[in-house]
């Protein structure tokens, strides 16, 4: 298949009018005036734009199903505040209509997993938004381990194990200390009884998997940074509602941010500083960041709208589009496959009439792995 005469937005370089050839689900060639091969399907894209598929780095797509209640809600395993052993892939229903809506809107890849009820909630799965089986849609089975700070764990476990932010930090530290000891004893060849929680956490302390940290308020964000430095962890700072207040400390930490959801009301105190101006402050500080809907908090198909509202608050159009394409791919460490239009990458593409963040933009077609899926 070859896209002819499209206005191509590669993300990693300036846009241009040209052609893109797709072979075996990959972007095989990019250029101008590419000659079609014999029997090759040619799409005339004159007057249309070609973007990489959009990517969501933090959501619960397929885990809290549409139009039903508890029977379709698999977001939070609230049996205990420490559940690293549970996995998002085991709770994701990819046939839910919310996944279809996301795909039709041009969101081709998401990271979905447990919510923020637990201090440690389990792993996120990174998957593409087309397929009947989550196993065939997966890019990374365990892309991150979820952790949560602040009001949510306090509220959920207020009658049992958590009364203060101090104990949230203590519970996480205890798990990290015990996992470190467990790994040390295994490495020494000692006879160590199997522990599913420590096994699940070992990739975190080995820096093979980031800790995905829900934190809105400035003190919670700084607690994440403190613990991450203490245990030498890779982390992402998710939500960062107070990010503009402590942007210097975040910049110094070196950790990336996933900003949002901002298209909501201020439902709790720690959202007091919620604003679409936060992405610009984070961007201007030189911090790697993406924009999130946290779907279903905000429907997944409104990811480009969230970016558009950040544009309204001063973030450049290019930065807005990068925050929903290449930057989330970098944060998820899948930018070798997706996030931009580049030879060798997966052919996850959007053909549309205008800018991704134009509310009047019309999606003409969506491709995942070179297959038209919308």
pLDDT digits (tens, 9 = 90+) for 177-188: 999 999 999 999
Contact in structure between 86 and 122 (CB atoms under 8 Å) = yes
> Residue 71: pLDDT above 90?
no
Domain assignment present for residue 14? The answer is no
Domain assignment present for residue 164? The answer is yes
Domain assignment present for residue 326? The answer is yes
In the chain, what percentage of residues exceed pLDDT 90? 98
- As a whole number of angstroms, the distance between CA 264 and CA 78 comes to 24
Q: pLDDT tens digits, residue range 85-117?
A: 999 999 999 999 999 999 999 999 999 999 999
Residue 351 — pLDDT band, cuts 50, 70, 90?
very high
Structural domains of the chain, count = 1
56 burial via Cβ count (<10 Å: 0-12, 13-18, 19+):
buried
pLDDT of amino acid 72: 87
Residue 67 — pLDDT band, cuts 50, 70, 90?
confident
Domain assignment present for residue 357? The answer is no
**What value does the mean pLDDT take over residues 227-246?**
99
pLDDT of amino acid 12: 98
> Residue 150: pLDDT above 90?
yes
> Residue 68: pLDDT above 90?
no
Which residues pair with residue 125 across a beta bridge? 112
Domain assignment present for residue 47? The answer is no
Domain assignment present for residue 30? The answer is no
Contact in structure between 263 and 309 (CB atoms under 8 Å) = yes
Residue 70 — pLDDT band, cuts 50, 70, 90?
confident
By C-alpha distance, which of 83, 265, 241, 78 is closest to 150?
Answer: 241
Q: pLDDT tens digits, residue range 195-213?
A: 999 999 999 999 999 999 9
* Alpha helices by DSSP H, 190-217: 196-205
The CATH number assigned to the domain holding 202 equals: 3.20.20.140
Work out the mean pLDDT of the chain and round it to a whole number. Answer: 98
pLDDT of amino acid 32: 95
Domain assignment present for residue 367? The answer is no
How far, in Å, are 48, 129, 157, 308 from residue 361 at the CA level? 11, 21, 44, 11
Domain assignment present for residue 238? The answer is yes
Q: Which domain holds residue 82?
A: 53-338
> Residue 171: pLDDT above 90?
yes
pLDDT of amino acid 24: 98
**What value does the mean pLDDT take over residues 52-69?**
94
Which residues pair with residue 16 across a beta bridge? 8
């Amino acid at each position: 298949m070859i896209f002819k005469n499209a206005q191509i937005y590669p993300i990693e370089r300036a846009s241009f009018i040209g052609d893109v050839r797709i072979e075996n689900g990959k972007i095989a060639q990019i250029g101008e005036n590419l000659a079609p091969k014999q029997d090759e399907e040619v799409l005339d894209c004159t007057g249309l734009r070609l973007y990489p598929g959009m990517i969501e780095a933090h959501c619960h797509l397929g885990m809290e199903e549409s139009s039903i209640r508890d029977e379709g809600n698999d977001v939070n395993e609230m049996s205990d505040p420490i559940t690293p052993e549970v996995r998002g892939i085991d709770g994701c229903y990819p046939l839910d209509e919310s996944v279809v809506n996301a795909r039709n809107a041009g969101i081709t890849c998401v990271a979905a997993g447990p919510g923020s009820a637990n201090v440690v909630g389990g792993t996120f799965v990174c998957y593409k938004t087309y397929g009947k089986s989550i196993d065939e849609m997966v890019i990374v089975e365990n892309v991150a381990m979820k952790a949560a700070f602040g009001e949510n764990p306090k509220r959920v476990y207020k009658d049992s194990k958590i009364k203060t932010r101090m104990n949230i930090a203590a519970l996480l530290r205890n798990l990290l200390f015990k996992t470190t000891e467990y790994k040390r004893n295994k490495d020494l060849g000692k006879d160590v009884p199997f522990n599913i929680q420590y096994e699940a956490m070992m990739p975190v302390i080995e820096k093979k998997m980031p800790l995905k940290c829900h934190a809105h308020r400035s003190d919670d964000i700084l607690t994440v940074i403190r613990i991450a430095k203490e245990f030498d962890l890779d982390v992402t700072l998710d939500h960062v509602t107070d990010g503009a207040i402590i942007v210097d400390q975040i910049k110094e930490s070196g950790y990336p941010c996933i900003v949002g959801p901002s298209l909501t009301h201020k439902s709790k105190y720690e959202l007091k500083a919620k604003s679409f101006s936060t992405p610009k402050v984070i961007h201007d500080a030189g911090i790697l960041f993406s924009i999130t809907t946290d779907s279903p908090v905000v429907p997944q198909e409104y990811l480009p709208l969230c970016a558009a509202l950040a544009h309204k608050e001063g973030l450049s159009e290019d930065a807005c589009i990068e925050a929903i394409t290449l930057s989330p791919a970098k944060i998820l460490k899948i930018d070798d496959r997706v996030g931009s239009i580049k030879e060798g990458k997966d052919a996850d593409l959007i053909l549309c009439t205008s800018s991704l963040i134009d509310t009047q933009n019309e999606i003409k077609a969506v491709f995942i792995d070179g297959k038209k899926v919308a």
